[in-house]
Chains A and B, each alone.
Chain A
Amino acid sequence: MRKTGWAVSSGIESADVRELQQSAPGPVPQQRHDEAARTGKPPLGARTVKAGLRTAVVLCLATALVHVVLVFLHVAPPNPVSKRYASQVNGWVFPLFEQNWRLFAPDPDSFNRKILARTAHTDPKGAVQVTPWFDLAAVDHSAVDHSVFPSHTSQNLLRRAWTSYVETHGGSDTARSERALMLQTYLRNIAVDRVASHSDGRTFEFIQLRVVTLPVAAPGTAAGTRPPAPTEDRLLPWWKVTSHGK
């Protein structure tokens, strides 16, 4: 199946290349020309061209259909078919056609997160100074507030960094895979940048994160009068700060 896929794909690419060259003359005069030519007898090589064209058309259609089927299998929940052909589906879909349409599904998040950070600095005398907690997510919330067009840096940067961190780490804070280590570095870099831009140039060598998850009150309950009790209060280990090219 994979083999067909690749063979078919080359058919489409060659079609593109030809179309590229075509853009200069433009389609309108050409078509007029076609009609004039059709009245005459087809020349000798025409049969070969026709056969080639037929093959190309069939290949195009086949590619399109195969693509649609593979994307369907990728989007659908795991099932016997998508499990059986997992390698073909993944080989075709990843990375360019990867997609996930679980938008606010199966349920929208029912919590807001505070992502707090504090830093430690060892002064020349050897005493360790630890700053109070600083809410990184609050920076995002205030940036989104009254913004017609919130930036990805407020809505997605920290939010997705944290969810990706949890996906790769689970409940533990030791990175057990290369990807987990990368995301740990990413999260640390974000935190360091945020703290640094809000701390008047104070230097620090260590940083620690704490993530507090606050539930959204169920509808009907008198929300807003007092802050809800956190469902999770996760304290991460101290991380050594290294500069990342800033």
Chain B
Amino acid sequence: MGSEQIPEPPSTAATPHRAAAHEPSIAGTAHRWLRDRICDLWALLTDRPISLYAASVLRIGYGLLYLVFLLREFPHRDEIWGPGSPWTPALAQQLFDQTGWNSILILSDSRAYFELCYVTALVTSALFMLGWRTRAMSVLFAVVVTSFHARSIFMTDGGDNLILLMSLYLVLTACGRRWSLDARRDRLKAARAGSAPEPARSFRAQPLLDARTTLITVVHNCGILVIGAQVCFLYGSAGLYKIQGPTWGGGTALHYALNLELFQPWPALSHLVDEYPLVIAIASYLTVLLQVAFPFVLFGRLKYPVLTVLLGMHIGIAVLLGLPVFSGAMIVADAVFLPDRFYAFLPRLWRRAARRTETGPSAPGRATGSGFVPLQGRPARPGAPASEQPAAPAQQDTTTPKVRPRSGRA
């Protein structure tokens, strides 16, 4: 968007100068300028898939998050999604008829069928996270998340809502190109093929294949655009609605949030924080300011400190208010705004850190408390290929939270 504006001033400045004599050439310049902009946009859309690493981080993050969520609710699975739920299959069906939702879970009332669905959901989430046949898995994952969400619609919160939206959008993206089993397989295949010539394809098929590649790229780029816009809307509206509330303006909102018994897993900690009204006021204001500012800082370096503060805020929410799924979903969503070069930089950072810690105490212990859950699901599988690039990030990400801001500004 910004770059579109740059060439404009010269063309408008030239207007009065040439206006009298060269009327048609101005139209020509404008036309050419417009055509160039359209070509730029076209190139941006079709040249290459943008943010492949971020898309993969989203895939890993949401796959892992949903897997953990499903496992967490294992003792309550029947109460939430099963035939024994107080929101009975009959009620769910009645609501679906009214709202247009649907769910694979109410196709049968049998307990065995439900258990099958639950296991399918676990397997789907795991395979989606690992990036095995990613495109097909992303469709399955979206079906699973939609079904489980719709079945328990009156038990969901903002985190579930965000995971649902992202699972739908991720279907559009090529989220299995990095840090995935698919990427590993392709790499192995390429290595095995070596320099052997490609089997010749008919010239007739070639344009179609090219077109398909372009189309995949375009759909991916549009998907990333939609995901980015969605996260901006989330923060923007959350912030703007808060501005309307007197307690946020008065700097006391967090006092009330900390005193809700349902969001108070550590009462002593909540009361301790609550004893510092200045901290409460500053945190309340910071929350609103960051949320409102979020969409506007994304196009500059400022986004790194903002994302870091948001990361801290979400970790705070996860611990103080006992909302880990919600916070995790938000942290993963934020990751979409980190560019590929940031993620490509991580392996180098890891190697450097590893070299340094070879002499010092072991690194993993330090990293476990990081709370930056999403990245840890990256497939660090035994038997991963020997090629450097993928093996390094698998362990590397544990240091992410600490190095994130620094590396961003570097």
A82 in the interface (beta carbon within 8 A):
no
Known A60-B218, A100-B161, A160-B155; contact A178-B233, beta-carbon cutoff 8 A:
no
CA distance A46 to B210 in the complex (A): 10
The B-contacting residues of A in range 27-57, CB under 8 angstroms, are 27-34, 36-37, 40, 42-43, 45-46, 49-50, 52-53, 56-57
Q: Which residues of A contact B186 (CB under 8 A)?
A: 26-28
A128 in the interface (beta carbon within 8 A):
no
Q: Quick one: closest A residue to B189, CB to CB?
A: A26
Q: Is the CB of B172 within 8 A of A12?
A: yes
Q: Is the CB of A141 within 8 A of B46?
A: no
Q: Which residues of A contact B230 (CB under 8 A)?
A: 68, 71
Q: Is the CB of B211 within 8 A of A20?
A: no
Known A36-B198, A43-B207, A144-B265; contact A15-B91, beta-carbon cutoff 8 A:
no
Residues of A within 8 Å of B, CB-based: how many? 98
The B-contacting residues of A in range 57-109, CB under 8 angstroms, are 57, 60-61, 63-64, 67-68, 71-72, 75-76, 94-109
A16 in the interface (beta carbon within 8 A):
yes
From residue A13, how far is it (CB to closest CB) to chain B in Å?
10
From residue B239, how far is it (CB to closest CB) to chain A in Å?
8
Q: Quick one: closest A residue to B214, CB to CB?
A: A53
The A-contacting residues of B in range 280-299, CB under 8 angstroms, are 280
Q: Is the CB of B242 within 8 A of A112?
A: no
CA distance A33 to B75 in the complex (A): 52
From residue A39, how far is it (CB to closest CB) to chain B in Å?
11
The B-contacting residues of A in range 192-218, CB under 8 angstroms, are 192-193, 216-218
Q: Which residues of B contact A102 (CB under 8 A)?
A: 237-238, 241
Query: What is the total of A-B residue contacts with beta carbons within 8 Å?
Result: 284
Classify the secondary structure of A's interface with B: helix
Q: Is the CB of A19 within 8 A of B226?
A: no
Q: Is the CB of A164 within 8 A of B154?
A: yes
Q: Which residues of A contact B241 (CB under 8 A)?
A: 101-102, 105-106
Residue B88 contacts which of A20, A43, A52, A189 (CB distance < 8 angstroms)?
A: A189
A-binding residues in B (CB < 8 A): 42, 45-46, 72-73, 75-76, 79-80, 83-84, 86-89, 91, 94-95, 98-101, 109, 133-136, 139, 146, 150, 152, 154-158, 161, 164-165, 168, 171-172, 174, 176-177, 182, 185-186, 189-190, 193, 198, 201, 203-204, 206-216, 218-219, 222-223, 225-226, 229-230, 233-234, 237-238, 241-248, 252-257, 259-267, 274, 277, 280, 322-324
